[in-house]
Copies of this chain bind each other. A is one copy, B any other.
Amino acid sequence: MRDVAVIGVGMNKWGELWEKSLRDIFVEAALLAIEDAGIDHIDSMYVGCMTSGLFVGQEHLGSLMADYLNVTPIPATRIESACASGGVALRQGFIEVASGINDIVLVSGVEKMTDVGGGEATYALSTAADQEYEDYQGVTFPGLYAMMANRHMHDHGTTREQLAQVAVKNHQHGSMNPLAQYPFKVTVEAVLNSVLVADPLRILDCSPITDGAAAAILCPGDLAKKLTTKPVVQIIGSGQATDTIALHARKDLTWLGATAKASEMAYKMAGVGPDDVDLVEVHDCFTIAEICVIEALGLVERGQGGKATESGLTALGGKIPVNTSGGLKSKGHPVGATGVAQVVEMVEQLRGEAGERQVKGAKLGLTQNMGGTGGSTAVHIFKRM
């Protein structure tokens, strides 16, 4: 297997982009990544997208996006793994470059979520859960994550305030990200007084509905040095894993088994461990999610995610900054794009281009992207060479 580098990244301004279509926002992000890489062609491409069929009535995104990016007849493949579609698309691009079958591969993620009403969006997102045994019984994602939160509070003494502190931290980070959907700060009080969605989760515990896209350009490590004058960032570890799709089928509601397994695979491939990581971008679709994820990644002890957040360990300036981009919470969560946007932040950080969000001296970082309540997860480890 060949070394794989990321030589270009791009994402558009995220938000409610009513004047733009699914194909428009994909092309915007793809061109930014191509420009950043300084390349004149691509050999192949992947499009991560969860459910454009339900959101905008369009499937066949490989053909559509290759067409509108004007790169036919290259191979173009759409990947779906619910909210992990982007992270899994990255893994497919990594495998393709590593295999030697193609050299320059564009990996992208896109979702257009605001062309439907709230009820339709909730239905579309619910298709990431077990339809027969979860959705048909009436539970949607805020309810599922609320059960995880209640159980974490019960088992580990996690407090309502600690959950809020995840949102406060990520909005603090996101306030420095000009591409974020909600680049404003929030306080613990604001979170605690916001509208109740599914007890104990309130609206400011939840990531928003977002239109957006992100893209990255991969190539073999030795080619990267010829193609770009920017610092070369390599993907040194890749892991992907699954868990039961239904939350109720797990022995422990707060343990993200697929995240633990995928990170174990990625750490092993990279030859590093949690202590070697300078920063991480993780899947904070709800505040409780970030707490469970940092435990499953081995960054903090099991059950200590809430306390670690409260202590400032995961804030910019702390020992292991989590979600310097603002995370899903502040940056937004166009579900298929999220996993690739994590790569955008990671590459900018490892190149030293993150401006006031910069983690000083960052050399090694990890991204974690999951679908549903963690039924699928992709983890990647990046190193500045």
With known contacts A67-B244, A67-B249, A81–B62 Cβ distance under 8 A = yes
What B residues does A249 contact at CB under 8 A?
A: 67
A127 (CB) vs chain B CBs: closest residue: B59
**Does A191 interact with chain B (Cβ within 8 Å)?**
no
With known contacts A1-B99, A66-B242, A73-B243, A54–B56 Cβ distance under 8 A = no
What B residues does A129 contact at CB under 8 A?
A: 60
Indicate which residue in B124, B130, B135, B238 contacts A64 across the interface (CB closer than 8 Å): B130
A131 (CB) vs chain B CBs: closest residue: B58
**Does A72 interact with chain B (Cβ within 8 Å)?**
yes
Residue tally, chain A, CB below 8 Å to B: 63
What B residues does A91 contact at CB under 8 A?
A: 75, 77
Chain B proximity of A110: nearest CB distance (Å): 13
A151 CA to B16 CA in the complex, in Å? 43
What B residues does A59 contact at CB under 8 A?
A: 50-51, 54, 80, 82, 127-128
Chain B proximity of A301: nearest CB distance (Å): 22
What B residues does A82 contact at CB under 8 A?
A: 59-60, 63
Indicate which residue in B61, B123, B244 contacts A72 across the interface (CB closer than 8 Å): B244
**Does A273 interact with chain B (Cβ within 8 Å)?**
no
Chain B proximity of A269: nearest CB distance (Å): 9
**Does A132 interact with chain B (Cβ within 8 Å)?**
yes
What B residues does A246 contact at CB under 8 A?
A: 67
Work out how many copies of this chain go into the complex.
2
B81, A88: Cβ atoms closer than 8 Å: no
**Does A375 interact with chain B (Cβ within 8 Å)?**
yes
What B residues does A242 contact at CB under 8 A?
A: 62-63, 66-67, 72-76
A132, B21: Cβ atoms closer than 8 Å: yes
Complex interface bits, A364-385 against B, C-beta within 8 A gives 1, otherwise 0: 0000000110011000000000
Chain B proximity of A113: nearest CB distance (Å): 14
Closest 10 CB pairs of A and B: A63-B375, A99-B99, A75-B240, A60-B82, A66-B242, A73-B241, A59-B127, A73-B261, A63-B245, A63-B376
Supply 7 further A-B pairs (C-beta < 8 A) apart from A72-B257, A73-B243, A96-B99. A63-B245, A64-B130, A67-B243, A67-B245, A73-B242, A75-B242, A95-B96
